[in-house]
């Protein structure tokens, strides 16, 4: 099983207990969204007394794998093939596509991560796409930021860079000095 | 004064308990049968507790004092968004229910932030329909101390507040429990569950205090008696699909039937020789049009006369 590299979470908070709690919220939100493998660094700058909350997320560009050849290993047998998926997450999508392609009578789920298809060649199955679109990581990163930012901080300024998202959240119109602060925070994430 | 207890045991010979309650003027508030197991919420006069304990020992059951039985608690979250729900609010509500309370979760429209934080008169009125309110606030000390107090200040019911920071006390509330702020997963560790328990224990103490106060100026009729009479005289109340269709409160009951249709029947009910409409205020609840019965204390009835 592949393990995701540890995420680096940096918290700069004027409220110690609140800062620790937001580190925990960030960790769990990444886990809930299933993007642990894509997020590299999260920097949180928390100043409830202003009030100001800046979050900067650096992530890896993720090209979603979507053909069966990329997602599974295929064993050829006489008259059938056995598809062994790398991840259980893909099972539903793979079954759906194979059923519509070859019909239910030729496709059988042999185990938790195994599918047997009768009367096909491995080369043919390898090219089948199990989903049309690759997973869009940037929308999940936006979702992550909105899950972490406290709800009361409703005035927001979003800056997207290459593999980077920075959000300044406050209750007042965003000031230039906060944007300058956000640049420093981005730099912390890059270090 | 009635003492509220949770009975856990078997169905076998449980009639001994029900007969005893009938003899001494006690009540069964709620009865749940699961297979051969029986869980009952009981109300028994304080002085009869010893005798009840002997009967319970005879039927090999267990009783626990549960002051939250017959208490309707509002668990108030700053909003209904995923930031504040489900975890803190639902965990607290679940633990309160385990201690016998009936809980309702309320989300404010604008309970968040420092500048927009606000509760409307309608929200406050809805919260005040309950016996106790538990406010589940966030993680920042500055926010809680500086901006959230107006949310519960001047509420006419006792308030307990939970939040992330560990504070010795917080003004305008009956108690504060730290370490339960905004958190993103279900409380599973022993440490977290202990904190939830301390909220329930605090709510239990507050309920007990309120009952002791009421004992100095007792209600004209006991809410438990009103509950039984409503179930007997308005049988539709038993069949309503809402959970706990006649919910017991410290100073009344909430009847989960449409107000306009049932208000006259409920007002005209005779309880212990008195017309209910004369000894209680019967009004429309802000919660789904239910009927809210608030029994007058004896001193108030004298004033009314």
Give the gap in angstroms from C-alpha A96 to the nearest C-alpha of chain B: 31
The per-residue pLDDT for range B55-72, each reduced to its tens digit, is 999 999 999 999 999 999
pLDDT of residue A161: 87
- Domain range B2-65, CATH architecture: 2-Layer Sandwich (3.30)
Give the gap in angstroms from C-alpha B108 to the nearest C-alpha of chain A: 13
To the nearest 5 percent, what fractions of chain A are helix, strand and coil? 35, 30, 35
Are A151 and B184 a contacting pair at CB < 8 A? no
Q: Which residues of A103-113 are buried (b: 16+ CB within 10 A; e: fewer)?
A: eeeebeeeeeb
Q: Which of B252, B247, B245 is nearest to B223 (CA)?
A: B252
Are B140 and A29 a contacting pair at CB < 8 A? no
> How many Å separate Cα B150 from the centre of its chain?
23
Please indicate whether the domains covering B72-213 and B223-304 agree at the CATH topology level: no
How do the domains of chain A map onto residue ranges? 8-62+136-190, 68-126
On whether any CB of chain B is under 8 Å from the CB of A156, the answer is no
**Which class would CATH give B223-304?**
alpha beta
Give the gap in angstroms from C-alpha A12 to the nearest C-alpha of chain B: 14
Residue B92: strand, helix, or coil: helix
Q: Which of B21, B30, B27 is nearest to B51 (CA)?
A: B21
Give the gap in angstroms from C-alpha A170 to the nearest C-alpha of chain B: 9
Residues of chain B with pLDDT under 70: 303-305
CATH number of A68-126: 3.30.1360
Instruction: Give me the total of CB pairs closer than 8 Å, taking one residue from chain A and one from chain B.
Output: 69
pLDDT of residue A133: 67
pLDDT of residue A62: 59
Sheet containing strand B246-249, strands side by side: B246-249, B252-255, B291-295, B280-284
Q: Which of A15, A151, A171 sits opposite B141 (nearest CB)?
A: A15
Are A15 and B183 a contacting pair at CB < 8 A? no
Contact partners, residue B124, CB within 8 Å, separation at least 6: B155
Q: Specify which residues B107 forms β-bridges with.
A: B77
Averaged pLDDT in 10-residue chunks for chain A of 191 residues: 66 94 93 84 94 93 75 87 84 90 91 89 87 75 93 93 92 94 87 70
Are B82 and A21 a contacting pair at CB < 8 A? no
Report whether CATH 3.40.50 matches the domain B72-213.
yes
On whether any CB of chain B is under 8 Å from the CB of A75, the answer is no
Residues of B in contact with A21 (CB under 8 A): 139, 164, 181-183
Q: Which of B81, B84, B140 sits opposite A18 (nearest CB)?
A: B140
pLDDT of residue B164: 93
Residues of B in contact with A30 (CB under 8 A): none
Dist. CA B22–CA B48, nearest whole Å? 12
Give the residue on B whose Cα is nearest the Cα of A151: B112
- Output the pTM of the full model: 0.83
pLDDT of residue B135: 97
Give the residue on A whose Cα is nearest the Cα of B113: A152
Residue A83: strand, helix, or coil: strand
pLDDT of residue B305: 53
Are A29 and B184 a contacting pair at CB < 8 A? yes
Phi, psi of B105 (to 5 degrees): -95, 130
On whether any CB of chain B is under 8 Å from the CB of A21, the answer is yes
Angle at A62 between CA A60 and CA A65, to 5 degrees: 155
pLDDT of residue B294: 95
Cα B220 to Cα A142, B207, B210, B231, B269, distances in angstroms: 59, 19, 16, 19, 15
How do the domains of chain B map onto residue ranges? 2-65, 72-213, 223-304
pLDDT of residue A98: 92
Contact partners, residue B209, CB within 8 Å, separation at least 6: B158
Contact partners, residue A54, CB within 8 Å, separation at least 6: A43, A44, A45, A166, A167, A168, A169, A178, A181, A182, A185
Q: What is the ipTM of this complex?
A: 0.83
């Amino acid at each position: 099983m592949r393990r995701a590299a540890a995420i680096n979470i940096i918290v700069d908070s004027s409220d110690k207990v609140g800062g620790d709690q937001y580190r925990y919220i960030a960790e769990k939100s990444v886990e809930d969204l299933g993007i642990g493998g894509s997020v590299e660094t999260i920097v949180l700058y928390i100043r409830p007394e202003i009030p100001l909350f800046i979050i900067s997320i650096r992530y890896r560009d993720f090209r979603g794998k979507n053909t069966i050849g990329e997602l599974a290993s295929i064993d050829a047998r006489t008259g059938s093939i056995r598809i062994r998926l790398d991840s259980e997450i893909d099972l539903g999508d793979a079954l759906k596509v194979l059923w519509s392609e070859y019909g239910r009578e030729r496709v059988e789920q042999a185990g938790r991560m195994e599918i047997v298809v009768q009367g096909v060649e491995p080369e043919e199955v390898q090219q089948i796409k199990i989903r049309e679109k690759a997973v869009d990581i940037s929308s999940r990163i936006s979702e992550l930021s909105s899950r972490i930012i406290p709800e009361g901080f409703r005035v927001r300024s979003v800056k997207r860079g290459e593999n980077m998202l920075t959000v300044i959240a406050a209750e007042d119109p965003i000031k230039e000095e906060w944007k300058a602060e956000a640049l420093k925070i981005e730099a912390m994430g890059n270090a | 004064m009635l003492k509220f207890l949770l009975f856990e045991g078997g169905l076998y010979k449980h009639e001994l308990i029900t007969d005893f309650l009938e003899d001494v003027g006690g009540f069964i508030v709620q009865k749940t049968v699961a297979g051969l197991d029986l869980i009952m919420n009981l109300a028994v006069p304080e002085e009869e507790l010893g005798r009840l304990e002997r009967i319970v020992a005879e039927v090999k059951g267990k009783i626990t004092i549960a002051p939250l039985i017959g208490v309707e608690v509002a668990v108030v979250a700053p909003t209904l968004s995923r930031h504040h729900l489900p975890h803190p609010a639902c965990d607290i509500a679940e633990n309160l229910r385990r201690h016998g309370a009936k809980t309702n979760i309320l989300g404010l429209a604008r309970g968040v932030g420092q500048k927009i934080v606000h509760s409307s008169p309608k929200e406050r009125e809805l919260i005040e329909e309950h016996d106790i309110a538990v406010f589940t606030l966030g993680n920042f000390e500055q926010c809680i101390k500086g901006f959230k107090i107006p949310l519960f200040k001047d509420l006419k019911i006792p308030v307990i507040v939970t939040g992330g920071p560990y504070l010795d006390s917080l003004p305008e509330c009956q108690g504060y429990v730290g370490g339960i702020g905004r958190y993103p997963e279900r409380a599973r560790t022993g440490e977290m569950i202990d904190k939830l328990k301390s909220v329930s224990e605090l709510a239990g103490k507050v309920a007990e205090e309120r009952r002791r106060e009421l004992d100095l100026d007792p209600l004209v009729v006991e809410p438990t008696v009103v509950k039984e009479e409503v179930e007997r005289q308005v049988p539709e109340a038993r069949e309503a699909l809402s959970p706990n269709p006649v919910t017991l409160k410290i100073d009344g009951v909430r009847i989960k039937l449409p107000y306009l249709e049932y208000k006259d029947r409920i007002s005209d009910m005779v309880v212990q020789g008195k017309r209910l409409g004369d000894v209680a205020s019967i009004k429309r609840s802000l919660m789904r049009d239910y009927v809210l019965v608030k029994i007058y204390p004896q001193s108030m009835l004298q004033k009314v006369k």
